[in-house]
Copies of this chain bind each other. A is one copy, B any other.
Amino acid sequence: MKYPFSDRVLSLKPSAIREIFKYASDPSVISLSAGNPAPEAFPVREIAEISAKILAGHPVEALQYGVTEGYAPLREYMAQYLKERHGIGRGFDGILITSGAQQVMDLAAKSLLNEGDTVLCEEPSFIGSLNTFRSYRAHLRGIPMEPDGMDMDALERALDEERDVKFIYTIPNFQNPTGITMSAEKRRRMYALAKRHRVLILEDNPYGDLRFAGEPVPAVKSLDEDGLVVYAGTFSKVIAPGLRVGYAVAPRELLQKMVVCKQGEDVHTNLWAQMVCYEMMAHTDFDAHLARLRGVYRKKAKVATDALDRCLPPEVTYLPIQGGLFFWCTLPQGADMPEFCRQAIRDRKVCVVPGNAFLPDEAAPCRSFRINYTTPSNEKLTRGIELLGGLARDFLR
């Protein structure tokens, strides 16, 4: 049988990183390629206690069908929390609980994109979101990254040149894959540009709470007086990703369409997980949990930084980070990065993600690769970076 696939799935080519991941299941390989939060930061005891309480006290509420919009106490608590803590949410906004933040990208794309519409995104950017936009047959145009975020002149040019731009996609804090945080000034300029050109902003903030140094920068959504920003948050990095609970804060008119789309996708998000998130937020010392979690990340990032400084030859650079999950490393001019990543896994048994996986056009030239420091143990992390350093010395000789 030749299956009559839709044009949209036929246009989703197998990713360049698939080939590399084939090796990653080999247990002798050290994986620095994941995007997983540090498991030692999961509040396991609290979740077990809360879960037992829910299943003893309100089992039918946790197990029966719920409403698509999400568990009402969680929605109300988060609306209040985000407003007080981050200035997020105006009178025209609502909140929708989703199955991870990934679903916010999907529902926003589904509600907004016609085939051929343009999405402006950071270059590089998160592959998962780019693939979601591709699945609605969007045209992706990348805006180059600078050390303080998107190049705003390039963004302005793109807004002038492109037709049918529906939204700008940004991960403003500790961006995946670069770790870059957008400056407050650039956030204001991006918002002003979006307003002038009447396009929306999709602000994806999975890592904002994982700041272990420096000062937080206000969310783009906190500037939103005009109903232009869809804000995506998640409990994946501050509680646990296996729960698959995220949320969108967006103008209600737009959120209503996202609710209709969600109804047709998964009806609603797992209720037990929504109740766990609510109880964690409302009835535990969540600030103390966040402080402990930031301590874990600070220490682990120090282990990685020490190893990077000690092991990488000076021609290989990396961007310093103040939070998030990733280091972005760059080989010197002329180096064949894909070949470096292939040799890393094949010959040195260490797996990193080649940077071109994160480009709107995967075939474009790229000399960078991404390292995750939060998933491996400290020993494997150090050993993995030592192996990369050894390879780099040989490779660049």
Q: Which residues of A contact B (CB under 8 A)?
A: 1, 3-9, 12, 34-36, 39, 42, 44, 47-48, 51-52, 55-56, 59-60, 62-66, 98-100, 102-103, 105-106, 110-114, 128, 131-132, 135-136, 166, 198, 200, 226-228, 236, 240-244, 251, 253-254, 257, 260-261, 263-273
B9 lies within 8 A of A260 (CB): yes
B132 lies within 8 A of A6 (CB): no
B251 lies within 8 A of A3 (CB): yes
Provide the bound-state CA to CA distance between A393 and B179, in Å: 70
Please give me the residue from chain B that is nearest to A107 by CB atom. Answer: B265
Given contacts A55-B44, A99-B266, contact A260 B63 (CB under 8 A): no
Shortest CB distance A25–B (Å):
10
Number of copies of this protein chain within its complex: 2
A12 lies within 8 A of B60 (CB): no
User: Which of A1, A106, A135, A257 has most B Cβ within 10 Å?
Assistant: A1
19 residue pairs A–B, Cβ–Cβ below 8 Å: A1-B251, A5-B257, A8-B114, A34-B65, A36-B64, A44-B60, A48-B52, A52-B52, A63-B241, A63-B242, A64-B241, A66-B242, A98-B266, A99-B265, A99-B266, A102-B265, A106-B264, A110-B135, A132-B265
Query: Which one, B102, B110, B226, contacts A6 given CB within 8 A?
Result: B110
Shortest CB distance A159–B (Å):
14
